[in-house]
Amino acid sequence: MSGVTASLTTQGLKEAIAALSRLEGFQMAELADDAGAILESSTRRRFDTKTAPDGEAWTPWSEAYDETRDHDVHSLLLDGGDLRDSMASYSNGTEAHVGSNLVYAAHHQIGGEEIGSGMPARPYLGVSDDDELDIQDLVTTRLEELMQ
């Protein structure tokens, strides 16, 4: 299978997850699903903002390629929207994954130097600082709900 995925795992949180699991009503799988949904949504927004998870702007098209684009129709990594629309999240109970199964998804994420295309990487997968805050808010809210 071709494509690319980014994963958010609970590594290093084993003790915290064990403590949370003792709370009545806590569902790690539900938390992982919700975290995946947060990451999927922010990944899709990156296609509009043209920024990587670290906040860096994507490398623009080359001048020669830019001249071939109809700017009313084409946008960097958003021609028909297939790549953005292919983003999906899933979890296995302790990990959240976000990615695309499109053949060219990895090419855009990591660039084309390895295959000789010279296309620059335009990372869209990953966890931004805002994503971390959103996931922290999710966990805090879930804990507050369980403590009531």
CA torsion angle for 126, 132, 138, 141 (degrees, to 10)? 180
Percent of the chain with pLDDT over 70: 89
Query: Sorting pLDDT into bands at 50, 70 and 90, what band is 60?
Result: very high
Q: What is the mean pLDDT of the chain?
A: 86
- 56: which DSSP letter? P
Q: What is the pLDDT of residue 10?
A: 58
Mean pLDDT (whole number) for 4-24: 68
Q: What is the pLDDT of residue 45?
A: 97
Whole-model pTM: value is 0.85
Assess whether pLDDT exceeds 60 at residue 106: yes
Mean pLDDT (whole number) for 101-118: 88
72 contact partners, CB below 8 Å, separation of at least 6: none
Mean pLDDT (whole number) for 56-60: 95
105 contact partners, CB below 8 Å, separation of at least 6: 2, 3, 4, 83, 86, 99
**Core vs surface per residue 80-96: b (16+ CB within 10 A) or e:** eeebbeebebebeebeb
Beta-carbon count within 10 A of 36 CB: 21
